[in-house]
Amino acid sequence: MISRILVSGVSGPIGAALLPSLKAREYEVTRLVRGTATGERQILWDPAKPISPESVSGFDAVIHLAGESIIGRWTEAKKKAIRDSRVLGTHNLAQALAQSKDKPQVFISSSAIGYYGDRDDEVLNEESASGTGFLADVCREWEAATRAASDAAIRTVQIRTGVVLSLHGGALKKMLTPFKMGVGGKVGNGRQWMSWIDVQDMVGAIHHILKTDLVHGPVNMVAPRPVTNAEFTRTLADVLSRPAIFPMPAFAVKLAFGEMGETVLLGSQRVEPARLVAGGYPFRFTDLRASLENTLKG
């Protein structure tokens, strides 16, 4: 039975939604935090440094969500921060859990559908091969960094997250201002696939993984019905009662955002949540419009 949970990365949009849901279910939650502890049940850590196994011993589950944002120009310094925050942080945490006296039952560690690279219209599931490029390389190393935990017989799950629909951060929040102003539109030709998930299903799927002992390895955290960028932007504009007639050409994306824009905004991943579906997870939102309407109603 799981009662004590250690969580990292709670300041992001997923963590912001997950934390209250864990507390509502009366789990005893301790946070891994950087900088200065501001309250009880917090453990200070530096992702770039080894962690004391004693400090992370005794938890039933560990949910690791921390990582440098990928948004921004990918300078060499930014790339190093993205890679190190994910790979080093995950490696150090997995090593500490593996060496702890009282190991967790389950270790849930973030990854992303960037693992698959730019795959056009190919339908991708957890058995699909990894792609090429910086983000795919980082995701492979990120997932491999959990190996110490799985080798120590800790049930280890890598959650490959798509575009999370939340007002607390991520892609949707950044898109809202131009769309509300009526100057939004498709990116590039709009044919690239966007695999999205409502933040409520993101949280629900994590709870599903916590209590489903047979789930291990990579799990695609996306809704069953991905959409093209053109459909996504058209639907968002319609929900906001605004036009979507100002496309951003591919050359402008590359000029404004460089490699990040080419990979994240123009890249295509048509991903299906095969393992969640097979495991019987009951998605609350399978329709993009319903998710956007619910998210934006406040």
Domains and CATH numbers, the chain: 4-231+254-296 (3.40.50.720)
Q: What band does 298 get if pLDDT is binned at 50, 70 and 90?
A: low
At 258, is the secondary structure helix, strand, or coil?
helix
5, two tokens: 């949970």
pLDDT at res. 40 = 74
Backbone angles phi, psi at 155, to 5 degrees: -65, 120
191, two tokens: 């044919």
Average model confidence (pLDDT) for the chain? 95
pLDDT at res. 37 = 65
285 burial type by CB count under 10 A (0-12 exposed, 13-18 middle, 19+ buried): buried
Place of tokens 């049940």: 41
- Quickly list H helices, the chain: 13-24, 76-99, 134-144, 147-151, 170-180, 199-211, 229-239, 250-260, 274-278, 288-296
CA–CA separation, 164 and 70 (whole Å) = 14
CB neighbour burial string for 250-259, b if at least 16 within 10 angstroms, e if fewer: beebbeebeb
Instruction: Flag whether pLDDT at 191 surpasses 70.
Output: yes
Q: What does the pLDDT look like over 12-53, one tens digit per residue?
A: 899 999 999 999 999 999 999 987 766 678 999 999 999 999
82, two tokens: 């993205």
222 CB neighbour count, 10 Å cutoff: 28
